[in-house]
Amino acid sequence: MKRILVLCSGNSARSQIAQAYLHYFADRLKPTEPIEVYSAGINPKGVNPLAIQVLAEDGIDIANHTSNPVEDYLHIPFDFVLTVCDKAREQCPFFPAVGQRIHQSFPEPSHMKGRDIDAEAKLTAFREVRDMIKIYSQEFIATHVGANQLASTQ
């Protein structure tokens, strides 16, 4: 069984989105072994409703996801630990049985500059980050799980 952990600072948006897409693309494979995808945060903040909304726009439901501390997963032997923000990379704890640690930083969509950002601008930021993570997740699964087995998602 291949196990993937996606780690960010708050486990509210980026890691939740990445977990959903990694799972989505892994499900389209015909893997010889099962694939499990988890997400966690250095300091969990709860799943951001805008992350739920932008994934629902793409047909993925994470409404029942929870925001979990990384300490809950230290006992699991992961093949990959993906850090999706610089803070998570810097504060990532030691996992005794990790195959690979990979870092790819994505912007935090909820940290918009200025205080007068309207709801549509926030939603646009979440959509932009969602799209970046979607592309990365598809490429990650193709590269690390099985490039020849990935079914068309178009």
Domain boundaries along the sequence of the chain? 2-145
Residues 85-101 pLDDT 10s: 988 888 877 777 678 99
Angle, helix 119-141 to helix 14-27, in steps of 10 degrees:
40
Q: Which two tokens stand for residue 39?
A: 């997400």
Q: Which residues are catalytic?
A: 8, 85, 92
Report the alpha-carbon distance of residue 5 to residue 76 in Å, rounded: 9
Residues 61-89 pLDDT 10s: 999 999 999 999 988 999 999 999 988 88
Q: Which CATH superfamily is domain 2-145 in?
A: Response regulator (3.40.50.2300)
Compute the C-alpha angle 82/31/147, nearest 5°: 65
Which residues of the chain are under the pLDDT cut of 70?
30-31, 97, 112-116, 146-154
Q: What are phi and psi of 29, to 5 degrees?
A: -90, 165
